[in-house]
């Protein structure tokens, strides 16, 4: 169908907030407050609840659905059910998934359960094909959210890994394992969270352009070094959302 570019209406803005533990990913996402539904996959909301700043009240109003516990297959089914339901009929302006590492583990565990390879004490070694199936299952789930007008925010942990040339790079991680960078391809914005300084002098910022140490992207030109204290509303305003 032909149209003028001025009449084009993009689908949902999909943002990945990625970074090491303790760099403010969940605290930032939760500044959306009651405008967002947060799927908690890792019981990791303590910092978002106790951190005190200008957004504290908004965070306390966030609606949360707990998906963790009861085994990976149950966690995957719960999360997939919530995402599918939200895709069919959004109940908030935004959906936050916290986080990708736990979603990947749940996806893999659900497949291993079906194949009889998962035990409660010691999962058996997994193959590349099984990991590939788990990632594909996640990508299919995310695809359901592609055409939504609602905002989608996925929180992802990273770890520092040595590259073949000896340099160090932050990569998507799942409890000691690297996740394929292709997962980022489905996102419009991939922002890397950073914290510098100590105590009251700490400053939280975002990296939006790729460097030798981390792959990021911003299709909507988020200014480099944007401060996380702006909250998600302020940062989304900078990219015209």
Model confidence at 61: pLDDT above 90:
yes
Per-residue pLDDT at 93 exceeds 80: yes
Higher pLDDT, 136 or 8: 136
* pLDDT above 80: residue 14: yes
Confidence of residue 116 (pLDDT cuts 50, 70, 90): confident
d(CA 201, CA 189) in angstroms, rounded, equals 28
The whole-model pTM stands at: 0.92
Q: Answer yes or no: is pLDDT of 29 > 60.
A: yes
Higher pLDDT pick, 126 / 169: 169
* pLDDT value for 122: 53
pLDDT in tens, 131-151: 999 999 999 999 999 878 899
Residue 31 has pLDDT above 90, yes or no: yes
State residue 123's pLDDT score: 55
Q: pLDDT at position 12, please?
A: 79
What pLDDT is attached to residue 10?
Answer: 64
26 pLDDT higher than 80: yes
Tens digit of each residue's pLDDT (9 = 90 or more) over 158-206: 999 999 899 999 999 987 789 998 999 999 999 999 999 888 889 999 9
- What is the mean pLDDT of the segment spanning 4-8? 77
Of 30 and 176, the structure prediction assigns the larger pLDDT to 30
């Amino acid at each position: 169908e032909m149209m003028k570019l001025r009449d084009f209406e993009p689908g949902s803005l999909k943002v990945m907030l990625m970074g090491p533990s303790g760099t403010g990913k969940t605290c930032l996402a939760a500044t959306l407050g009651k405008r967002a539904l947060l799927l908690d996959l890792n019981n990791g909301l303590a910092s978002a609840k106790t951190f005190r700043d200008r957004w504290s009240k908004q965070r306390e109003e966030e609606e949360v659905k707990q998906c963790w516990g009861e085994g990976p297959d149950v966690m995957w089914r719960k999360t997939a059910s919530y995402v599918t339901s939200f895709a069919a009929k959004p109940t908030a302006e935004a959906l936050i998934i916290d986080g990708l590492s736990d979603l990947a583990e749940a996806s893999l565990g659900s497949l291993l359960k079906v194949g009889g390879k998962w035990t409660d004490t010691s999962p058996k070694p997994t193959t590349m094909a099984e990991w590939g199936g788990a990632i594909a299952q996640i990508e299919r789930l995310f695809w359901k959210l592609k055409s939504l007008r609602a905002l989608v925010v996925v929180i992802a942990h990273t770890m520092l890994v040595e590259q073949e040339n000896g340099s160090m790079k932050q990569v998507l991680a799942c409890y000691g394992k690297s996740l394929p960078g292709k997962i980022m391809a489905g996102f419009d914005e991939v922002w890397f969270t950073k914290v510098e300084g100590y105590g009251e002098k700490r400053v939280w910022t975002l990296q939006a352009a790729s460097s030798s140490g981390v792959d990021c992207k911003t299709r909507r030109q988020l200014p480099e070094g944007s401060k996380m204290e702006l909250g998600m509303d302020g940062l989304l305003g900078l990219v015209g959302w």
